[in-house]
């Protein structure tokens, strides 16, 4: 079976990526980052709305989670791309978005929007769990010192909640990197679409999808290192036992680490 593998294609895809490929890789990265950022912002807003004194805001926050966690992402992506302009009667999804330094095409924009909105629903839950994990005496102490709610949230609650929020946030981003492959279906030429195009020209599915898997693996592995570093940064200002950066990476790469120690 391995004999039938065309190693030169695989080698080519991994070590000598062409210009088109680099562009696709870059698209995957910026779509993932932008969608995750949007998700974090929407998730935080929705989490704060959930704690609002105003019932309609709480309801809206609940509906948001219900709808976007309750329907498939792919449906949401298609809906945003094909339906948003029609539904709202205004151009939400333009043909291209000019960001000064570079041109973002409308499909990628729709992809980011859909993935970000979907992600926000999951991030709301993560923020909620993080904020709820902080003793309510902290908010009371902050208020008793004359801090308005917003300031107390920003200076006292969120910095403490970050330790609870960041690990699942990291996992969400890991997921996001892989989920961006779905925007291939609305025609964004990212990693997956790039492989499909190559595949249709050469018909070497094994080589192409192995190399795609490899590159997603590289992205998520790099991310796990960055995540370990961030978590370490957060732990530094805390008292108590701290894992070193190496230990955190080891923990993130448990299978590899366990293997290295001779465990199964």
The verdict on 151 binding other proteins (CB under 8 A) reads yes
What is the distance between the alpha carbons of residues 246 and 187, in angstroms, rounded to a whole number? 40
Q: Which of 5, 63, 66, 145 contacts other proteins by CB under 8 A?
A: 145
The verdict on 135 binding other proteins (CB under 8 A) reads yes
Q: Is 204 helix (H, G, I), strand (E, B) or coil?
A: coil
Contact characters 95-134, other proteins, x per CB under 8 A: ----------------------------------------
The verdict on 146 binding other proteins (CB under 8 A) reads yes
Q: Is 96 helix (H, G, I), strand (E, B) or coil?
A: strand
The verdict on 54 binding other proteins (CB under 8 A) reads no
Binding residues among 159-218 for other proteins as defined by CB under 8 A: 159-160
The verdict on 143 binding other proteins (CB under 8 A) reads yes
The verdict on 147 binding other proteins (CB under 8 A) reads yes
CA distance between the termini of the chain: 27
Structure tokens at 165: 């929020």
Could you tell me which residues come within 8 angstroms of residue 80 by beta carbon, excluding any fewer than 6 positions away? Answer: 92, 93, 110, 113, 114, 117
What is the distance between the alpha carbons of residues 3 and 1, in angstroms, rounded to a whole number? 5
Question: Which stretch of DSSP H or E encloses residue 146?
Answer: none
Contact characters 226-245, other proteins, x per CB under 8 A: -----------xxxx-----
The position carrying tokens 């530094």 is 236
Q: How many residues bind other proteins (CB under 8 A)?
A: 23
Q: Which stretch binds other proteins (CB under 8 A): 15-23, 40-48, 144-152, 193-201?
A: 144-152
According to DSSP H, which parts of 180-204 are helical?
Answer: 191-202
Residues of the shown chain interacting with other proteins in the complex, contacts defined by CB under 8 A: 135, 137-138, 140-151, 155-156, 159-160, 237-240
């Amino acid at each position: 079976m391995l004999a039938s593998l065309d190693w030169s294609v695989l080698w080519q895809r991994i070590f000598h990526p062409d210009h088109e490929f680099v562009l696709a890789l870059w698209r995957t990265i910026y779509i993932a980052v932008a969608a995750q950022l949007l998700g974090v912002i929407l998730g935080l807003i929705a989490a704060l709305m959930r704690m609002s004194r105003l019932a309609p805001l709480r309801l809206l926050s609940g509906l948001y989670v219900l709808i976007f966690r309750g329907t498939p992402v792919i449906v949401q992506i298609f809906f945003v791309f094909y339906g948003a302009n029609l539904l709202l009667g205004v151009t939400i999804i333009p043909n291209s978005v000019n960001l000064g330094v570079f041109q973002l095409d409308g499909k990628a924009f729709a992809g980011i929007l859909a993935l970000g909105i979907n992600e926000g629903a999951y991030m709301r839950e993560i923020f909620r769990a993080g904020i709820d994990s902080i003793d309510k005496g902290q908010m009371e102490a902050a208020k008793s010192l004359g801090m308005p709610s917003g300031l107390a949230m920003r200076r006292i609650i969120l910095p403490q909640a970050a330790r609870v929020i960041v690990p699942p946030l990291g996992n969400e981003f890991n997921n996001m990197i892989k989920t961006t492959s779905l925007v291939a279906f609305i025609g964004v030429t990212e990693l997956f679409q790039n492989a499909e195009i190559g595949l249709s020209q050469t018909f070497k599915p094994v080589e192409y999808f192995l190399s795609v898997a490899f590159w997603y693996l590289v992205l998520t592995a790099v991310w796990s290192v960055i995540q370990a570093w961030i978590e370490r940064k957060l732990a530094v200002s805390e008292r108590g036992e701290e894992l070193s950066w190496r230990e955190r990476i080891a923990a993130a790469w448990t299978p590899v680490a366990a293997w290295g120690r001779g465990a199964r």
